[in-house]
Amino acid sequence: MFKRIFTHNYKKLATLTGPRDAIASVAFSVDSLTHRYTGYGGITIWDLASSAVVTTPHLPYEPHNAQHVYSSSTWMYFEGTSQHVFIVGNMSGEISLWYFDKGQNAFRTERNVVVDKGAHSIVMSIDASEPSVASGHSGRVVTSADDGTIAVWTLTSTFEFTNVFKVDPPAGFIPRIVKFARSTRNVFSFSKTGGGFLQLKGEDGDYSWAKADGPKEMHFVAVNETHDYFAAWTGQRVELYQLSNSQYVKAFHCEASLVGNTKQVSFAEDGSRLVVGTDHGFVDVFSVVSGNIVQRLEYPRKSLVQYLATLTLPSCHLVAIAGSTKSQPADVVVFKKKYRAPRAPSTAGSTDDNIIFNVPVTWTGVRWIWRFIFLLVSTQFLVRY
């Protein structure tokens, strides 16, 4: 009993080193092999289980060239072909599609696609309709750029990438974040300034609804459709709203923000927790119900720790945090917390003391091999967004 009480917190699982500058994005992938860092020196991928580097396409080291500075990304996995696809956007209005070549144990470039109006805009946000695509089906990708373009695309397992629609939001609406509504494939978008947020119909881009009563600054937004919430970093704190009616719920107060517009927020643990980056060498884990901090996850040295990722698996919850101070080497620290929910009889006897090396578990039709991909984007330009 006492062991359960005193160990029901996140514990450090791994510290991943190597990035030589600020990290600006972290993401877990589905049924994956590796860990990825992108930034001034291009993109580096590690296998988290072994820390070995996986071969990637050559990218020139040009931190002042917007074409080689990366700002957003997502992952997609095709179950029928067991194919991992990485989709990354740059600061020149393009996205690149990479696939994992299992025979060569390397990532390869499939194609590059312009997703803005051709004005070399920053790709601000990318999302996938589902992280794992069933055999015989196609996935969808939504992109937004700082010229105002919101676009939806279909992607097949044979890498056919087709535009469904491109739309412009209302005047003054800067589509900082785009997210798919998981049950309908409609698209949510949140404006960086002005309080606007909207939903587009997935089939043609027509408006389902548009609102203007959100927080006046939304530098990052996390959505939890199950509990009808969205949480926005507003410059000095996180504010929680109901998604359906814009009703303000509460604020989550953090340490004083030194860089107001660059904190990432993410729901965790089935929506019961909210994880928030800080400028003070840790991230805060809040209870959504009480609004109180329940744990601080420490970074190994003094640094901005503004970017993070969360993931819930059948046996545990994971959080990854990343150093975000420019001109300073950065680490990624991964934390794990056991999932206390009741298990199905088929998995009740399994152990997760070392999740990296566990036997695969079937979850929503996906084989998890307990190794995960992170994306880490590092660039001096990202502080603006």
pLDDT digits (tens, 9 = 90+) for 276-293: 999 999 999 999 999 999
Cβ atoms 341, 352 nearer than 8 A: no
pLDDT in tens, 24-81: 778 777 754 445 555 444 566 667 677 667 788 988 878 788 888 888 888 899 999 9
Amino acid 23: pLDDT: 77
C-alpha count within 13 angstroms, C-beta hemisphere, residue 241: 24
Residue 351 in this model has a pLDDT that exceeds 70:
no
Q: What is the DSSP letter of 200?
A: E
Contact 321, 306 (CB under 8 A): no
Q: Are 309 and 48 in contact (CB under 8 A)?
A: no
> Mean pLDDT, the chain, as a whole number?
83
- With 90 as the cut, is the pLDDT of residue 157 above it? yes
Percent helix, strand and coil across the chain, each rounded to 5?
Answer: 5, 45, 50
Confidence grade of residue 361 (pLDDT, cut at 50, 70, 90): very low
Find the length of the chain.
385
Residue 347 is predicted with a pLDDT of: 34
- Residue 365 region by backbone torsions, left for phi larger than 0, else alpha for psi between -120 and 50, else beta: left
Q: How confident is the model at residue 19 (pLDDT cuts 50, 70, 90)?
A: confident
pLDDT: is 247 or 371 the higher one? Answer: 247
Q: What does the block give as tokens for 302?
A: 């003094």
Residue 337 has a pLDDT of: 94
Whether the predicted pLDDT of 4 surpasses 70: no
Question: Given a cut of 60, is residue 350 above it in pLDDT?
Answer: no
pLDDT at residue 340 above 80? no
Region 202-217: mean pLDDT is 96
Percentage of the residues of the chain whose pLDDT score is greater than 90: 57
pLDDT at 42: 56
The region of weakest confidence among 99-103, 205-209, 221-225, 287-291 is: 99-103
Please answer whether residues 197 and 189 qualify as being in contact, where contact means their C-beta atoms are separated by less than 8 angstroms: yes
Residue 169's contacts (CB-CB under 8 Å, 6 or more residues apart) are: 148, 150, 175, 189, 191, 196, 198
Q: Computed over its alpha carbons, how large is the radius of gyration of the chain?
A: 20
pLDDT at 367 over 80: no
What sign for the dihedral angle of Cα 58, 61, 62, 68?
A: positive
Residue 363's pLDDT band (boundaries 50, 70, 90)?
very low
> Which CATH architecture fits 9-384?
7 Propeller (2.130)
pLDDT top residue among 272 and 48: 272
High-pLDDT (> 70) share of the chain, %? 81
Is 170's pLDDT higher than 90?
Answer: yes
- Domain locations in the chain? 9-384
In this predicted structure, what is the pLDDT of residue 51? 67
Which whole-number Å values give the CA distances from 374 to 148, 223, 261, 289, in the listed order? Answer: 28, 20, 22, 29
pLDDT of residue 115: 96
CB 97 within 8 A of CB 87: yes
What's residue 250's pLDDT? Answer: 98
Which residues have a Cβ under 8 Å from the Cβ of 15 and sit 6 or more positions away? 300, 331, 332, 333, 334
Q: Which of 67-76, 199-208, 306-315 has the highest mean pLDDT?
A: 199-208
pLDDT of residue 48: 66
Say yes or no to pLDDT of 236 above 70. yes
Asked whether the predicted pLDDT for residue 145 surpasses 60, the reply is: yes
